[in-house]
Structure 1
Amino acid sequence: MGKERKNMKGTYFISSISLTSYSVEYGISSIFTLFMLFFMNFSIPLTSTVYSYYYGFAYLLPILIGYISDKYVDESTALTIGYVSMIISQILLCVTTLLHQNGGIELDSIVFNMQSIVLFIGLFFLALGTSFTNISFSHIINSINNDHDSRFVGFSIYYPFINLGILIGVCIMSVIIGEENYGLYSLAFAIFALILIIGFVCFKLFKGKYLVDNYGNPMEEDHSKGSIRDLANKILNALSYKSISKIKNLNLIKRIDSFKNSLNSHEKDRLFVFFIFLLIIIVYRTVFAQTNLSMVFFIDSFVQRDFGSFVIPVQLYFILNPLFILILGPIFLKINNKLTEMGKNFHSITMLIISLLIMGFCYMILCVLGFYIDIGTLDKVNLLWIILFDFLLAISELHFSIPAYSMVGKLNPEKYYALFFGIFTATRSIAMFIAGMISSYFPENPPIFIYNIPFNGLMNFFFIFVIMSIIAAMVLIIFKKNLTAKLHVEDLNQS
C-alpha cells in the first residue's frame, strides 16, 4: 500500500488543491436560494428563475471553456485562470453585500441597480472560474495517471475530496450564516476568497515537487497549443469582410467531415460509446437532482424532524450525502484494489448498471412509503428512512460517478479531452431543466384512488424515477457486449 500511495502522490496533491475550489463552489450553491430570497428580496418565482438560468448557463459554459482549454492554454494556465476568476467572484459578491439597501420590498423582477449589476458580474466570474477549475482538475488527474487502471484509482481518490470540499463549504455557510444571520454573507464570501487564495498559492508553490505522474516524473504539458496572442489575432482577422464572408459560407458538413478525418476508427467507436454514455448520465443526473428538489419538499412535509423542542432544519439534509461519500469512498477504493489484485474487478459499464439498479431501489423505498402516506395510514415517516435512502444513494453515486469520470478519459481523444469533458459536465444543464420540470408535478393535494392505487400521489410520482433508472440500466445490459467491443480496451491498455 505504501508503494501505491507513493505512486499516487500527484493525484493526492491535486485532489487536495481541488478541495478549496469545491468548498467554495458548493458552499455558494447551498445558500444561493436563501441569498436571493432573504438578502436580495427576490420573490420565490424570481428566485427560481434566476436559479435555473444561472445554473443552466454555468453547466453549459464548460463546453466553450473546454474548447479554449484544448486549443489555447495548458492545464496549469487554465487552473490559474479558474482560481483568479473565482477569487474575483468572491470579492464582487462581498461588494454586493456592502451595497445592500434593505427596502423591505419583495421584487418580482430584476431592478438593474449597482447591487444587482455587481451581483451578476460576480456570478459570471464564479461560473467562469468553476468551469476552468473543474475541467483542469479532471484533465490533470487524467494526465498524471498514465495507464488504464491507475486512472480509475486516481478518480477514486479524487471523488471523496470533492465531497469533503462540499461538506466544508456547506458547514462554513451553516455556521456563519445560520438561519437568520443574513448580514454575515460578506464575512462568508471573504472567508471563501481566503480559502481560494490559499489553494492557489499552494498549487503554485508546490506543483513542481508534488504534481508528478505514477512514475515520479513531473507532469508534462507539451500539447500543441496556440498562444493567447494568436487567439486575439484570429479574432481581429475574423472582423474583416473577407473572413466574415468565409465564415458565412462555411459548410457544416465539411466541418464535421474534417473532425471525423482527424480521428482513427477506434477513436470514432469510443466517441459513439461516449455519446450513448451521455444519454445515460442525463437520466442518472435527472433522477439524482431530485435530492435537491423533490426530496426537499418530501422531507419538509412528510418526515418526522422534531425531537421534543428541537426541530432538525431541512438544510442539514444536504450534509448526509457528502458525509456518506467520505465514509464509503475509502472502503470502495480498498475493495476495488482488492478485486483488481484478484483479477476480478468490475467493468465500468457493469458498475454503471449496478449504480442505476441501486438508484431505482432507493426510489422504490420512497414509493412504498408514499403509498402508505397516500392512503392515510402513515402521517409522517421516520427520519431513519431518509438516512437509509441517502446511504444507498451514496453507494449508487460511487458506483456511477467514479467510473463516469474515468470513462471520460478512456473514451475521448487526448487532443479533445477538455472539450468533451466540458460536454460531459454540460449534461448537468439538461438534467437540471428536466428535473425541474418533473419536480413541478410534486403532489400537493390528496390523490385520487383507482383500485386502491393512488393516482398522481407520492407513490406514482416517485415511481417515475424507478422507471427511468431501470430503463437506463436495461439499455446498458442489452447493449453491453456491443459497447464493450467499441471501447477497444486492448488499445487503452497498450497506450
Structure 2
Amino acid sequence: MSTDVQVPPGTFLGHPRGLYLLFVTEMWERFSYYGMRALLVLYAVAATHAANPGLGWDSPQALKLYAWYTGLSYLTPMLGGWLADNYLGQRKAVITGGILMALGQFSLASPPATLGMSAPWSLAALGIAFPEAPTSFYVGLALLVLGNGFFKPNISTMVGELYAPGDARRDGAFTIFYMGINVGAFLAPLVCSTLGEDPAYGWRIGFLAAGIGMTLSVIIQLAFAQHYIGNLGVEPAARRSLALAGGQKQPLTPVERDRIRVIFVIFAFVVMFWAAFEQGGGLLNLFANEYTDRAVGSFTVPTGWFQSLNPLFIVLLAPVFSMLWSRLGERGRNPATPVKMYAGLFLVAIGFLFLVVAVFEMQRTADMKAGMLWLVLGYLFHTMGELCISPVGLSVVTKLAPLRLGSLMMGVWFLINFVANTMAGYVGAFSEDMGRYEWMLALAASAGVRPEHAGLLGVFGGIAVVLLMFTALLWAISGRIVGWMHGAEGPQGRPEPRSAAPAT
C-alpha cells in the first residue's frame, strides 16, 4: 500500500468493498478461461466425422497443444506486467486484456471456414507436429494468450494494493479472491462443457458461452471500478514510485534484493506443484473420459463435469482457509509462507497416491475402469494443496515486490505457470511412452498392473514421489527463506485500511 492511492471507504465481511468487485471481475474471466480449457483437449481429439465433429488429433498432439496454450498464457504476464508498471497502469491493462480474450473466444466460436484452414506445421526440436486446423482456431488461441498477459498479473496486484504492509488480512483476502476465481471455474464446465459436448449444440456454442462470460467481466469492471476502488491502478506504478521518492530514481536496497530472491527460490517449488496440478486439465481429463466408470444408473456423467470438482472444493474450503489464516494472524501464529507451501506439496502428493490406487482398481474390474471416488479424492487433496500454495503465493508477491516492480514481479510469478504448464503437457503425453519401457513394464507386472496401464502407474506414482522429495527439501530450507523475507509477513496486527477518499 502507498499513501497516494485513494480507495472509497467501507468494508464488507471485514475487507474493503473493492475486493469483491475484483472478485467478480476475476470470476467471469476465469469462467471464460476454464470453460474453454475444459473443451480444448476434447475438441482437439474428437473425430472430424463424429456427431459432434472436432479436429481429429491424437491424444499426444492434443496434450502438447494444451501444454503450449496454457504455458504461453502465463508467459505473456511478464510483458503485460511491465507495460502496466511503466505505461498503462493496471486498470487499462485489465480492460485491454479482457477485450482481447473476449475476441479470442469469439474467434474459436466462429465457423471453421471464417479464416480458412492452416496447413500442418511442426517444430521437431520441441516434439510438436500439429495437423491441419482452422485458422480461426489458432487466431483465437493467440488472442487469449495475449489478453491473459495484460489481465492476469494486474488484477492480482490490485488486490494486494488494497492492504497496508503487515496487514494480517492479506492472505485471507487472496483466499477470498481465489474463491472468486473458482466460482467461475466451477460454473464454466457445467455451462460450457454441457453445451460444447452435446452434439445438439456443439463445440462452437461452448466457446461462445465462454466469450460471453469474458464480456461480462469487462462490462462489470468498466461500470463499477471508480465507485469501489477509486483511483487504484489508474497511474502506472513506476510513476507513483518515482513521485514518492521525490523524483529521484533509487536502486534496490539489500532488503529488497533479498525479498526478490525469495520469490525466485519459491519459484522452483511452485513449478513442481503446478506441473502436477495441471494434469487436471490434460491427463486427468483423459483419464476421466477413458478409464473412469462415469455411470450413475442410466445417466453418464459428462467428462467435463469433473473439471468442476476442483473449483467446487475451492468454493467450499476457501472460506475455511481464509478464516484460518486470519485468525492465526490475529494471534501472531500465522504459519510462514514456506511452511504453508510444503504442506501444500505434501497434500498434492497424497492426491496422486489416490490415483495410483485407481490404477490398481482398474486391474480387477471387468471393463478395466476405476470408480469415480478415486478421482474425486484426488481432486480434493489437490485442492487443499492448492489453497496452501496458490493464493498464498499471490499474496507473498505483493508483500515482497517493490512498488515500482509490483506487476512485473507478479508477471514473473505467473512465469511459474508457463514452465509448469508446458512441463505438464509433456508429462501427460509421456504416460503413453513410459508404458513402453521394459523396466516400467516389469515394475507394473510385479505389481499386478496390465502393460497397457503401466504408463499411468508410472506417471501418477512418479509425480507423487517427486512431490514428496520437494516437500522435504522445502521443509529443510524454510528457515533460511523466512530470514530473507526480513519481516515482510509481520507484524501480525490489524492496521487500518489505506487512506480513503469520499465515495463517488
TM-score (norm 2): 0.79
Are the counterparts in 1 of residues 107 and 139 from structure 2 also a CA contact under 8 Å? Answer: yes
In structure 2, what residue type is equivalent to 1:171?
L
| 1:23 paired residue among 15, 19, 31 | 31
Are the counterparts in 1 of residues 197 and 203 from structure 2 also a CA contact under 8 Å? Answer: no
| 1:426 paired residue among 411, 415, 430 | 415
Cα distance in 2 for partners of 1:290, 1:488 equals 35
Secondary structure (helix, strand or coil) at the match of 1:60 reads: coil
Is 1:8 aligned to residue 16 of structure 2? yes
Deviating more after overlay: 422-431 vs 369-378: 369-378
Aligned residues between the structures: 449
Is 1:204 aligned to residue 217 of structure 2? no
Deviating more after overlay: 329-338 vs 455-464: 455-464
1:173-252 matches, within 5 Å, as: 173-181=192-200, 183=202, 185=204, 187-211=205-229, 219=232, 221-223=234-236
Relative distance call for 1:50 and 1:139 in structure 2 (3 A) is: same
Query: Which residue does 1:54 correspond to in 2?
Result: 69
Deviating more after overlay: 89-98 vs 312-321: 89-98
| 2:93 paired residue among 70, 78, 82 | 78
In structure 1, what residue type is equivalent to 2:217?
G
Are the counterparts in 2 of residues 75 and 140 from structure 1 also a CA contact under 8 Å? Answer: yes
Query: Which residue does 1:120 correspond to in 2?
Result: 138
Question: Cα offset for 1:16?
Answer: 1.0
Deviations 1:3-29 (CA, angstroms, capped at 9, x unpaired): 662542111111111111111111111
Are the counterparts in 2 of residues 86 and 126 from structure 1 also a CA contact under 8 Å? Answer: yes
Are the counterparts in 1 of residues 107 and 137 from structure 2 also a CA contact under 8 Å? Answer: yes
Deviations 1:454-490 (CA, angstroms, capped at 9, x unpaired): 6956544422122211121112211111111110116
| 2:308 paired residue among 295, 300, 319 | 319
Instruction: Percent identity, please.
Output: 22
- Structure 1: gaps (5+ residues): 213-217, 227-259
In structure 2, what residue type is equivalent to 1:178?
E
Query: Which residue does 1:130 correspond to in 2?
Result: 148
Relative distance call for 1:225 and 1:401 in structure 2 (3 A) is: closer
Cα distance in 1 for partners of 2:290, 2:140 equals 35
In structure 1, what residue type is equivalent to 2:181?
I
Are the counterparts in 1 of residues 85 and 407 from structure 2 also a CA contact under 8 Å? Answer: yes
Is 1:66 aligned to residue 81 of structure 2? yes
Output the aligned Cα RMSD: 3.4
Deviating more after overlay: 137-146 vs 33-42: 33-42
Are the counterparts in 2 of residues 356 and 470 from structure 1 also a CA contact under 8 Å? Answer: yes
Relative distance call for 1:197 and 1:463 in structure 2 (3 A) is: closer
- Structure 2: gaps (5+ residues): 1-9, 47-52, 123-128, 240-248, 496-504
Are the counterparts in 1 of residues 30 and 185 from structure 2 also a CA contact under 8 Å? Answer: yes
Query: Which residue does 2:173 correspond to in 1?
Result: 154
Relative distance call for 1:369 and 1:47 in structure 2 (3 A) is: closer
Cα distance in 2 for partners of 1:341, 1:440 equals 46
Cα distance in 2 for partners of 1:304, 1:91 equals 34
Question: Cα offset for 1:40?
Answer: 5.5
Cα distance in 2 for partners of 1:374, 1:449 equals 15
Question: Cα offset for 1:323?
Answer: 0.7
Relative distance call for 1:312 and 1:440 in structure 2 (3 A) is: same
1:81-480 matches, within 5 Å, as: 81-97=96-112, 99=114, 110-111=131-132, 115-116=134-135, 118-148=136-166, 149-181=168-200, 183=202, 185=204, 187-211=205-229, 219=232, 221-223=234-236, 262-371=251-360, 380-442=369-431, 447-449=441-443, 452-453=446-447, 458-480=456-478
Query: Which residue does 1:239 correspond to in 2?
Result: none
Are the counterparts in 2 of residues 270 and 411 from structure 1 also a CA contact under 8 Å? Answer: yes
Relative distance call for 1:472 and 1:95 in structure 2 (3 A) is: same
Name the larger-Rg structure.
Answer: 1
Secondary structure (helix, strand or coil) at the match of 1:441 reads: helix
Q: Which has the higher helix share?
A: 1
Deviations 1:266-320 (CA, angstroms, capped at 9, x unpaired): 0111111111111001111111122233333444454333344333333221111
Question: Cα offset for 1:394?
Answer: 1.4
Relative distance call for 1:463 and 1:94 in structure 2 (3 A) is: closer
Are the counterparts in 1 of residues 195 and 202 from structure 2 also a CA contact under 8 Å? Answer: no
Question: Cα offset for 1:30?
Answer: 1.2
Query: Which residue does 2:40 correspond to in 1?
Result: 32
Relative distance call for 1:129 and 1:451 in structure 2 (3 A) is: closer
In structure 1, what residue type is equivalent to 2:348?
M
In structure 2, what residue type is equivalent to 1:219?
L
Are the counterparts in 1 of residues 179 and 318 from structure 2 also a CA contact under 8 Å? Answer: yes
Are the counterparts in 1 of residues 90 and 233 from structure 2 also a CA contact under 8 Å? Answer: no
Are the counterparts in 2 of residues 374 and 459 from structure 1 also a CA contact under 8 Å? Answer: no
Relative distance call for 1:109 and 1:485 in structure 2 (3 A) is: closer
TM-score (norm 1): 0.80
Are the counterparts in 2 of residues 75 and 221 from structure 1 also a CA contact under 8 Å? Answer: yes
